[in-house]
Structure 1
Amino acid sequence: MAIAVTQPQAPARRARRNSPMYRAWQRYRKNWFAVAGLIWVILFFIIGIIGPWIAPYSYTYADFLHMHSGPSWQHWFGTDTVGYDVFSQILYSIRYALEIALGATCVSFLIGVILGLWAGLAGGIIDIIVMRAVDFMFALPSFFFALILMVLLGKGIFPMILAIGVPGWAGYARLIRSLVLAMRNGEMVEAARALGASQWHIARKYMFPNVVGSMVVSLAFGIPYDLTAQAGLSIVGMGLNPPMPSFGNMLAQAGANILGFPWLLYFPAGVFAITLLSFLFVADGLQEAFNPKGGV
């Protein structure tokens, strides 16, 4: 007698395959550049976490017997003009780059989300004030604003986070406001408002979940910008204090020694360029995954 075997997990499997996140991942994985970029970004994060423990030398150790030394078994990426190991400097630079870029992105994102939600939901004079502030921030070059903040706050990781993060909120605020305005008069929002729901409840329950995809894409594009901004601040001498390594400090030193010691430029610039491209590939893949019809 044959016994029928049921598959109770089939409905759950179908539900998972029909979920927005699963469909987004299926679209994302079709973009080979985005997948390759994601692999490098994950590796970049892992190195940023464990880099100081796997570095052959401390970033404060100078090998005076091998200054200006090319790549070798002792110093894989060579040494700089002081005798610092370039490979170790890159590993430490990845750690500081992640701390500053992620911190600055979080600062920009939090300010932008709060002001964008407030302007979109409140409307009226609040919306006008916030949007005029957004216009002002776009009119003022953000890098110039960051330089001013660095002069006022001084050098260091936390001042760089604030200097890069504070000027970057305007783009997030404008994006969130536009998304909120598109949903503010929707049926679900109107029904919740008629039942006496607060603005915060409406934003948390109905609006925020519907803009997560666009915010993730915007964050993915924001991180490489913050990486570039912190490197630019270091190049002009307003970054981390030596001997704390950063990609900007290494590129600034390499620019003055490119003819005699090209490895000082090739290795840090190569890692930095691949990292920026990887983040951009990931952001592009996320945009296709969450917004298949185009637009952020």
Structure 2
Amino acid sequence: MKAKRDVLFWFSLSFILIVFLSAIFANYIAPYSPYAIDPNAILKPPSWHHLFGTDRIGRDVFSRVIYASRISISVSLIAVVISTSIGVIYGAVSGYFGGLIDTIMMRFVDIMLTFPVFFLILAIVVVLGPNIFNVMIVIGLTGWMGIARIVRAEALKIREFGYVKAAKLLGKSDLYILFRHIIPNAISPVIVYATLGVGSAILSESALSFLGLGVQPPTASWGSILSEGKDVIQVAWWMSFFAGVVIFLTVISFTVIGEKLKK
């Protein structure tokens, strides 16, 4: 069983590495421009000339999936950086000060967690308007609550350690103690949560783009490619299939890596 888990972990890590390399070197890997239209190659099935087939206006789906990795991965990583930063600082402040401050801050987190996260994201994006910037910000601003709880629990323990009490006796400011002692020592479990959060952010971005509320045409993201293929799924299955497989494998891979890091 352990051997199987190790194989799954290394497969996941290798797949994520491939996705990142594809995003970085898309200009060299993709055989065509993601915007190149070929009127003579409309809805062509997978072949040696077009590995993932072509779409309704003759664009190469493989090239679009490769270039889309830049958008989907970048949006997700930036969103996770935003949510992690907010969650770490919020949780550290709540746990360090404790008492009434902690109670009020955690009640706010509890209230936020009562809302279904994706529907909250959906509502905010509808109000702000669909574009890449808004998607990154909204996903980041709605994904910090779990991290805040984790860091708060760590901060409650760390504030009782001797070196923190010694820093207080030496007259160090609360800001100094938070960023010198509390946050650095509470960050370890956050890495696992952030890894899992990337997969969740990819799903959110893909869902928003699929609904037309995320990345806008002609820019390609995995979700927008799925959306473009939904109307012709019966005659051109490949348009949605390959993007869907990449989304599935990427999310699963981040989940497997995150679970491995827990141990």
Greater mean deviation of Cα atoms: 248-257 or 232-241: 248-257
Do the aligned residues in 1 keep the contact of 2:65 with 2:243 (CA within 8 Å)?
yes
Greater mean deviation of Cα atoms: 166-175 or 264-273: 264-273
Q: How many residues align?
A: 260
Quick one: which of 70, 77, 94 aligns to 1:95? 70
CA distance in 2, matches of 1:60, 1:255: 19
CA distance in 1, matches of 2:8, 2:187: 23
Quick one: which of 13, 27, 33 aligns to 1:52? 27
* Aligned match of 1:206: 181
Identity rate, percent: 35
After superposition, what is the alpha-carbon deviation per residue over 1:188-225, rounded to whole angstroms, capped at 9, x for unaligned? Answer: 32222222222233233333332232011111111000
* Aligned match of 2:214: 239
CA distance in 1, matches of 2:87, 2:138: 15
CA distance in 2, matches of 1:159, 1:242: 16
Letter of the aligned partner of 2:36 in structure 1?
A: Y
CA distance in 2, matches of 1:192, 1:165: 33
Deviation at 1:37, TM superposition (A): 1.3
Mapping for residues 264-279 of structure 1, pairs under 5 Å:
264-279=239-254
1:143 aligns to 2:143 (yes or no): no
CA distance in 1, matches of 2:97, 2:157: 14
Letter of the aligned partner of 1:97 in structure 2?
A: S
CA distance in 1, matches of 2:69, 2:256: 19
CA distance in 2, matches of 1:286, 1:257: 41
Runs of at least 4 residues off by over 3 Å: none
Mapping for residues 122-141 of structure 1, pairs under 5 Å:
122-141=97-116
CA distance in 1, matches of 2:221, 2:154: 37
1:258 aligns to 2:233 (yes or no): yes
Do the aligned residues in 2 keep the contact of 1:34 with 1:284 (CA within 8 Å)?
no
CA distance in 2, matches of 1:277, 1:154: 30
CA distance in 1, matches of 2:260, 2:191: 11
- The alignment partner of 2:25 has SS state of helix
CA distance in 2, matches of 1:32, 1:194: 51
The alignment's C-alpha RMSD in Å is 1.8
CA distance in 1, matches of 2:193, 2:90: 16
Do the aligned residues in 2 keep the contact of 1:90 with 1:246 (CA within 8 Å)?
yes
* Aligned match of 1:249: 224
Quick one: which of 159, 166, 181 aligns to 2:141? 166
Rg larger in structure: 1
Quick one: which of 182, 185, 190 aligns to 2:160? 185
Do the aligned residues in 1 keep the contact of 2:12 with 2:253 (CA within 8 Å)?
yes
Letter of the aligned partner of 1:180 in structure 2?
A: A
Do the aligned residues in 1 keep the contact of 2:87 with 2:148 (CA within 8 Å)?
yes
Change (3 A) 1:126 1:44: same
* Aligned match of 2:7: 32
- The alignment partner of 1:88 has SS state of helix
Quick one: which of 226, 229, 245 aligns to 2:201? 226
Do the aligned residues in 2 keep the contact of 1:112 with 1:170 (CA within 8 Å)?
yes
* Aligned match of 1:194: 169
Do the aligned residues in 1 keep the contact of 2:12 with 2:257 (CA within 8 Å)?
yes
Letter of the aligned partner of 1:287 in structure 2?
A: K
* TM-score, scaled to structure 1: 0.83
* TM-score, scaled to structure 2: 0.92
CA distance in 1, matches of 2:19, 2:144: 25
Greater mean deviation of Cα atoms: 84-93 or 197-206: 197-206
After superposition, what is the alpha-carbon deviation per residue over 1:124-151, rounded to whole angstroms, capped at 9, x for unaligned? Answer: 3322222122112111112122122212
After superposition, what is the alpha-carbon deviation per residue over 1:142-165, rounded to whole angstroms, capped at 9, x for unaligned? Answer: 212212221232222111101111
- The alignment partner of 2:40 has SS state of helix
Deviation at 1:119, TM superposition (A): 0.9
Q: Structure 2 unaligned segments of length 5 or more: list them.
A: none
CA distance in 1, matches of 2:129, 2:24: 26
Deviation at 1:183, TM superposition (A): 1.8
Quick one: which of 34, 45, 58 aligns to 1:70? 45
Quick one: which of 40, 43, 60 aligns to 2:18? 43
CA distance in 1, matches of 2:191, 2:250: 18
CA distance in 1, matches of 2:246, 2:101: 44
Letter of the aligned partner of 1:183 in structure 2?
A: I
